[in-house]
A and B are shown apart, each in its own frame.
Chain A
Amino acid sequence: QLQLQESGPGLVTPSETLSLTCIVSGGSISSSGYSWAWIRQPPGKGLEWIGSIYYSGSTYSNPSLKSRVTLPVDTSKNRFSLKLSSVTAADTAVYYCARTGTTDKYYYYMDVWGKGTTVTVSS
């Protein structure tokens, strides 16, 4: 059974870089036909897609965050990461990693989610 687990610091200083890792177990991150995504949810607000990385290495990011987002993947450790630079208080949120059940944008959906990790941006 595929499981995803987010990890990283719960507190980040403003203007610094937020770094989170998603460890994938019960399946290979290199499997074709899937991509891997990051989604966040500010306190009391809705869901926001941050970006996705495909098994081929291609990445797609939310246009509103694209200039600050990097999505590295480490296939040897079966994990992928999120790096968000120049953070502000507006980046305070619960961050989720997820698998998408397809790479076809027409059918795009997230079928397996991690439990989420809370990140607070504060000095």
Chain B
Amino acid sequence: QSVLTQPPSASGTPGQRVTISCSGGSSNIGSNTVNWYQQLPGTAPKLLIYSNNQRPSGVPDRFSGSKSGTSASLAISGLQSEDEADYYCAAWDDSLNGYVFGTGTKVTVL
């Protein structure tokens, strides 16, 4: 059972803004930076956001991340059909001394 909790699903129409939450605790999100991964159907995960709010080269600025206390959020603005995927938050957990992923959120473009 993951220590980072995400809503199982989120949806929106093209052009809308969608936000995904990630709830953790003091030993993970509260102590370390948060990363987000995008997994398109049938493919390997891809780093989308690192260090709470940094985008790797090539990631559109429609994707943004934020963190406050023991929670984090991923926002997708101007939702597009190709954004339909599973999204996972992740962070190092000092108590477990290991890397933990969130439960995952499936984003559907209506």
Contact = CB atoms under 8 A, between A and B. Distances in A.
Interface of A: 37, 39, 46-49, 51-52, 60-63, 96, 101, 105-111, 113-116
Interface of B: 2, 31-33, 35, 37, 39, 43-47, 50-51, 56, 88, 90-92, 94, 96-104
A110 B100 CA distance: 12
B44 A115 contact: yes
Contacts of B50: 101, 107, 109, 111
B91 to A, nearest CB: 8
B100 to A, nearest CB: 7
Nearest to B56: A111
Q: Which 6 A-B pairs have the closest CB atoms?
A: A49-B99, A109-B35, A47-B101, A105-B92, A109-B50, A46-B104
B97 A106 contact: no
Given A47-B88, A109-B90, A96 B96 contact: no
Contacts of B91: 108
A110 B47 contact: yes
Contacts of A106: 31-33, 92
6 contacts: A46-B102, A106-B31, A106-B32, A108-B32, A108-B33, A111-B56
Contacts of A96: 44-45
Nearest to A106: B32
A108 B92 contact: yes
B94 to A, nearest CB: 8
Contacts of A107: 32-33, 50-51
Output the residue of A47, A61, A63, A115 with the most chain B CB within 10 A: A47
B47 A111 contact: yes
